[in-house]
Chain A
Amino acid sequence: MFSFRNPISRAFATLALLLAVFAVLFPFVWVFMESIKPASLGGRPDLWVFSPTWENWNEVTLNSDVPFNILNSFAIALVTVLISLLCGAPAAYAFSRFRGFESARYSILAAEMMPPAILILPFFLVLYHLKLIDSQIGVIAAHLTFVLPVVTWFLIGFFDEVPRDLENQAMIDGYTRFQAFYKVILPAVRPGLGAAGVFGFVLSWNDLFYALLLTGNESRTLPVAIAGYWTFRGVELGKMAVAILIAVIPVLALSHSIQKHLIRGIGGGAVKY
């Protein structure tokens, strides 16, 4: 492969890369600065030197609904992911192993790509008639529409990589196919289950659209709460910055841990590298 042997082009390349890193980091740095700015100085763009304060953090964590919103987001994402893994793992295994599922495989991908605009109307109406607007159950059902296909699709690629000899051997040893699946194959794809679970969790945690329309005071999730810090007046900006950081930091930490599995998952066995 060619490389940047010429020191000048190498310098330019390094500069371009650093510029990209800066462009990514800058908003995060800014939002952290806003979160520790005293409320009276919020929204002063020229201000980088000030005495930092934790008043926004205290206000948001001790004196607002945000902890409750975090709890809602967390519970909804967790239940959604558990259901998705429970139903998605056996199906992904079947898609990977049995003949006759080729088109079913791609209908999973189609489901994953379905625009929420077409699903939200029936969801809203059904939940409205069931008196389940503003309940976690409705949001979980709605989040299943994208987390379940993603998790299933994600796992197909991981099952594809487990050699068939593994379950053949287990079945020779007297396991039924199903026993072979959950005693031998599932443990072998544990990293995949973890990565798919984390990815699905992040998708549910980050959703605004469904949560905005299906939740209320009793079930509001963190993204909807963030959208509620609306005005651009001193105090609110600092609090919004805190809420944003609270939403973003755990997700960044989680995603970092699954980085190396992401490609196999997103490819879903369809992209061969």
Chain B
Amino acid sequence: MQLKYKFILPLALLLSAVMLYPLAFSGWLAFHEYRLTRLDDVHFVGFENFVLIATDPSFLNAMGNTLIFVLGAVSLELVIGLSLALLLQKLNILRNFSRSILLAPMFVTPIAVGLMFRFLLNAELGVIPHYLSKIGITVDWFGPDLALFSLILIDVWQWTPFMLLMFLAGLEALPKTPYEAARVDGAGPWLTFSRITLPMLRSVIVVALIIRALDAFKVFEYVFAITRGGPGNSTETIMYYIYQTGFRFFRMGEAAAAAIMLITVILVLVVLLVKFSQAEEARK
């Protein structure tokens, strides 16, 4: 065997065992009727699970909720993260102090974040509604209208730091000359930002968006800690749906089919995003 393959052999073997094999197993599951409660009756059903899932209104609802969650959370995180990165870069006072604090949330275990906000925002006992009501605002954060939005805000609290981290490094690496030229030409701050900073940060922004979006698709902890999918099924996300199907209703085959459909949706979105950013590149 060539030397270079010896270096990757341990990784390849281990990844085959913990990833390829489970993936293949999931593929097999998706085409079988496989209920944990009826293990003696496992049989091939063709595409039946896929049909069942694709026509299940709660699957479509969960997919919709997840897409709204991903879009809402990631775009807010992008805007806030970029603004904070610019602020931090400009304000040299407080920089190190604020940076350390602002990055902290991304390391906290998400279930703890979920539970903290569950109680901070609780209608009767939470601190935030308590003070809001003193200035005359009553908001039911986990009511049917706002629950998904509240989960988005929690994700923004936890993951804007990731965007901030990426953009701070991106800003630090930008060359100085274009800015000097812009100043000589009398360009204002907005023009400088939109014509110089933003285009030069493009590749960092695309990478950060992809990483964050793929991660946001996995949202589970906040739902599990706070709403359990409710009220109704207004906050049921795709991960929670698969968890319910597989481990509450023990329908492993259908859960596997749902997971495969999730991966397909993610793949399509990633390909579209990459294609879009390449097309943008080519336009220049």
Contacts and interface: CB of A to CB of B under 8 A. Distances in A.
Interface in A136-163: 141-142, 144-145, 148-149, 152
A77 to B, nearest CB: 12
Contacts of A259: 100, 103
A170 interface: no
Interface in A93-117: 93-95, 97-98, 100-101, 104, 111, 113-117
Contacts of A40: none
B101 A21 contact: yes
Nearest to A113: B214
Contacts of B113: 27
Given A115-B266, A117-B242, A27 B116 contact: yes
A188 interface: no
Contacts of B238: 117
A3 interface: yes
Contacts of A186: none
B109 A94 contact: no
B173 to A, nearest CB: 4
B194 to A, nearest CB: 12
Interface residues of B, number: 94
B3 A177 contact: yes
Nearest to B86: A13
Contact of A27 (B29, B120, B179, B239): B120
B196 to A, nearest CB: 9
Interface stretch (A50-58, A59-67, A189-197, A204-212): A204-212
A185 B93 CA distance: 39
B265 to A, nearest CB: 10
Given A111-B15, A227-B224, A273-B172, A90 B8 contact: yes
Contacts of A2: 90, 179, 183, 188-189, 192
Contact of A17 (B14, B98, B218, B259): B98
A222 B28 CA distance: 33
Interface string B147-164: 000000000010000000
B52 interface: no
A17 B18 contact: no
Interface string B106-126: 011111110111011010011
Contacts of A121: 22, 25-26, 29, 246, 252, 255-256, 259
A23 B120 CA distance: 12
Contacts of A14: 91, 93-94
A209 B220 contact: yes
Interface string B31-45: 000000000000000
A213 interface: yes
A200 interface: no
B2 to A, nearest CB: 9
Nearest to B83: A16
A271 B111 CA distance: 30
Contacts of B282: none
Given A115-B239, A232-B122, A149 B130 contact: no
Contact of A209 (B221, B260, B262): B221
B192 to A, nearest CB: 6
A78 interface: no
A153 B67 CA distance: 27
Given A30-B127, A141-B18, A208 B109 contact: yes
A237 interface: yes
A137 to B, nearest CB: 12
A39 to B, nearest CB: 15
A209 B114 CA distance: 13
Contacts of A93: 7
A251 B109 contact: yes
Contacts of A263: 165-166, 169
A116 B4 contact: no
B111 A208 contact: yes
Nearest to B117: A27
28 contacts: A17-B98, A24-B105, A25-B101, A87-B14, A94-B4, A94-B8, A115-B259, A115-B262, A117-B238, A117-B239, A117-B259, A118-B256, A119-B19, A119-B22, A123-B22, A124-B247, A125-B252, A126-B22, A206-B109, A208-B110, A226-B115, A227-B111, A248-B112, A252-B108, A263-B165, A266-B165, A266-B211, A270-B207
Interface of B: 3-4, 6-8, 10-12, 14-15, 17-19, 21-23, 25-26, 29, 83-84, 87-91, 93-94, 98, 100-105, 107-113, 115-117, 119-120, 122, 125-127, 129-131, 157, 165-166, 169-170, 172-173, 176, 179, 183, 188-189, 192, 203-204, 207, 211, 214-215, 217-218, 220-221, 224-225, 238-239, 242-243, 246-247, 252, 255-256, 258-260, 262-263, 266
Given A2-B179, A119-B22, 16 more contacts: A1-B89, A16-B87, A25-B101, A27-B120, A30-B120, A90-B10, A117-B238, A117-B259, A119-B26, A121-B26, A121-B252, A148-B18, A226-B109, A256-B100, A271-B207, A273-B169
